[in-house]
């Protein structure tokens, strides 16, 4: 996801990040180095070196920090982002397990009860139209146990 514009607001103590679809906010408290009243943000700008997927800010003291768009999306807890992240991680693990498995692709297709085309869609990490259920079914066929761990986020 590309960032179109970034503004800082020292009064509200937030960064306002505009993407192609929406405007998101990120409080100063979620950045490092953290801006303070004694050391406020002097300027913020898009980082072209990262392909406009991050922004950099400069404090009055001269210290700089960089924030990636992934951090902003994670803070704003976009449900589709969290789902896609989980789906991506499960798919990468399924790819590793499928490559290491002694089962052939044809056997995987037979045990899943699907087509070869559908198996390749499940194994494609860029396909976010598949369901988590499909990837979990594949991991089960590959003799994997999946545990879900829920824990409080650290600051």
C-beta pairs of 97-105 under 8 Å, 24+ apart in sequence: 97/139, 97/142, 97/144, 98/123, 98/138, 98/142, 101/142, 101/143, 103/141, 103/142
Domain ranges of the chain: 3-76, 79-141
Q: At residue 15, what are phi and psi to the nearest 5 degrees?
A: -105, 140
Q: What is d(CA 31, CA 57) in angstroms, rounded to the nearest whole number?
A: 10
Two tokens at 23?
A: 């405007």
Give pTM, 2 decimals: 0.61
pLDDT in tens, 108-128: 999 999 999 999 999 999 999
How many whole angstroms from its chain centre is CA 154?
16
pLDDT in tens, 2-24: 999 999 999 999 999 999 888 99
């Amino acid at each position: 996801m590309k960032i179109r514009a970034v503004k800082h607001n020292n009064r509200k103590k937030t960064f306002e990040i505009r993407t192609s679809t929406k405007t998101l906010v990120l409080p100063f408290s979620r950045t490092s180095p953290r801006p303070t009243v004694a050391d406020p943000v002097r300027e913020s700008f898009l980082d072209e070196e990262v392909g406009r997927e991050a922004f950099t800010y400069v404090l009055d003291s001269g210290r700089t920090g960089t924030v990636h768009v992934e951090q902003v999306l994670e803070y704003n807890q976009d449900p589709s982002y969290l789902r896609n992240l989980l789906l991506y991680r499960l798919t990468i693990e399924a790819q590793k397990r499928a490559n290491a498995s002694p089962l052939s692709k044809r056997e995987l297709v037979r045990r899943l009860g699907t087509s070869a085309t559908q198996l390749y869609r499940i194994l494609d990490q860029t396909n976010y139209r598949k369901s988590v259920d499909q990837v979990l079914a594949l991991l089960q066929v590959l003799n994997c146990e999946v545990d879900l761990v829920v824990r409080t986020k650290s600051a």
